[in-house]
Structure 1
């Protein structure tokens, strides 16, 4: 049985990669967040961690959330005005624009694949957090979810018709809470649960072809690992399966690598893992916490 499982996992992971043997992603640009200079700021680096560019610099928190589909703008959240707001900056770090301008806290956002709208997390109408949509310029805010339990970590399906996110689920018998991955249409209809695991699942990232979802979740060992599953929630495979704490996965634009945060209580860095071979390579090595990598879209 173990041999059959191993073969199935190998076939599944192999299907995530393209057929060409070239696995060079040297021209991949990564957006990430780091505390290497004391507080969380936003940076750029290359796929090998050789060059770095700092995009933000202020005494408050700036936290990278992702790229606009055109690769020319960056989405982040910052508490530079007191509460957590969503901001957009150019790829150079200039022209900062506050997109939300609300008294509430907004975080964990993502551009739609067409770049015209943004899904984000906010506590503006609830004591917990729900998902909202707004135009890319911050206008026309509308509520997507309205549940008693928190919602977080939204991302889009490949064609932008659905949002994948984490929602708290409470066992009615034990009252034990857990986070599971769900999918919902962008009009708030057709809620579908994708994961049914005992461990907390979050940080969904959809593969470039839209067929797979990477996420982080609690493993049988008790640590956080990176998992990959089919887009319908089937065939879950533990990709990292190691002693480190692995989270915040992001697919490379060619679908051959998954970038992630990995480490332990002493330090966290950006790593990447080959989807087919599971070769794990460290990208950043500096002191100070590096996390939440986002691959720049190719034009």
Structure 2
């Protein structure tokens, strides 16, 4: 995630009279996207340095979103619409020279939801192709080799697989699998393709898995009747609701920082804004947030 977030949270401390100590504030790089409405196709992707400077990632694309850091903070993968080919593609941004490369150019597919492998040699993503048998797109998991740009398909079925991410050791892929428009969280072992369900709740949508260490985080509806998002932590045995969730608004797109600290999006004040939780309290990030919707944050800590 973009830059030195401490300056922004410090401003929040003053503005909101919080009892935070600045030692709880993470320092690092931040990336996130912002749009008026998803259907408006006007998303912009932002990159912030540890010194607090912000730049917009730009190029021959539109509706950029879902930025993801690899094993270094200077390279980001993201998804956007190639304005020439009119297709979703996977891009890589290099902060050193501000270059952008389309890694799936003119593939003829929809390429979305990219996440780096732990070793930085590949990107996992979902690839969509038109399936006339179902009169719609079929989405499967795919693996992109960064050096050769070769794409290996990992799944091929009618069930939609989306939002994949690697385990920290690179041996597993976590993803959301959809049946009748309801998502559940699954794990697949690389190599043999063996799959297992991690979390599933009847009539409740679960999606957007993210791994940090031994913990898996994801988003789910509060219940069948309350579709507000809440954020969950799964420790390998059970899924637990995080303490800042509420039944009255969404808590979405979690980015774990370490320990019990997180950055995430919330509709607490109307549109989606970015928030930081330090293990005790949450604070809005007013220098980043706007009248648009801020979502999809990723963070790389300054060591």
Aligned: 1:255 with 2:265: no
State the match for 2:125 in structure 1. Answer: 120
Q: CA deviation at 1:51?
A: 4.8
Partners of 2:148 and 2:184 in 1: CA distance: 28
Residue 60 of structure 1 aligns to a residue whose secondary structure is strand
Aligned: 1:143 with 2:153: yes
RMSD: 2.7
Aligned: 1:157 with 2:167: yes
Q: CA deviation at 1:271?
A: 1.0
Q: For residues 127-206 of structure 1, what are the structure 2 equivalents within 5 Å?
A: 127-137=137-147, 139-170=149-180, 177-198=181-202, 199-206=204-211
State the match for 2:76 in structure 1. Answer: 74
Total equivalences in the alignment: 266
CA shift in 2, pair 1:124/1:298, >3 Å: farther
Partners of 1:250 and 1:261 in 2: CA distance: 9
Partners of 2:230 and 2:79 in 1: CA distance: 25
Q: CA deviation at 1:103?
A: 1.1
Q: CA deviation at 1:264?
A: 6.2
Gaps of 5+ in 1: 1-20, 171-176
Q: For residues 283-294 of structure 1, what are the structure 2 equivalents within 5 Å?
A: 283=285, 284-294=288-298
Q: CA deviation at 1:188?
A: 4.7
Q: CA deviation at 1:196?
A: 2.0
Partners of 1:99 and 1:257 in 2: CA distance: 33
Partners of 2:221 and 2:96 in 1: CA distance: 36
Aligned: 1:213 with 2:216: yes
CA shift in 2, pair 1:202/1:188, >3 Å: farther
Partners of 1:24 and 1:110 in 2: CA distance: 27
Q: For residues 270-285 of structure 1, what are the structure 2 equivalents within 5 Å?
A: 270-274=274-278, 276-277=279-280, 279-283=281-285, 284-285=288-289
Partners of 2:122 and 2:185 in 1: CA distance: 22
Deviates more, 1:52-61 or 1:66-75: 52-61
Residue 138 of structure 2 aligns to a residue whose secondary structure is coil
TM-score, length-scaled by structure 2: 0.79
Q: Given that residues 115 and 125 in structure 2 are in contact (C-alpha distance below 8 angstroms), is that contact kept between their aligned partners in structure 1? A: yes
State the match for 2:28 in structure 1. Answer: 28
State the match for 2:55 in structure 1. Answer: 53
Q: CA deviation at 1:259?
A: 1.1
TM-score, length-scaled by structure 1: 0.80
State the match for 2:65 in structure 1. Answer: 63
Q: Given that residues 78 and 87 in structure 1 are in contact (C-alpha distance below 8 angstroms), is that contact kept between their aligned partners in structure 2? A: yes
Q: Given that residues 166 and 173 in structure 2 are in contact (C-alpha distance below 8 angstroms), is that contact kept between their aligned partners in structure 1? A: yes
Partners of 1:298 and 1:51 in 2: CA distance: 15
State the match for 2:10 in structure 1. Answer: none
State the match for 2:113 in structure 1. Answer: 108
Partners of 2:118 and 2:28 in 1: CA distance: 19
Partners of 1:28 and 1:160 in 2: CA distance: 23
Q: CA deviation at 1:23?
A: 5.3
CA shift in 2, pair 1:262/1:51, >3 Å: farther
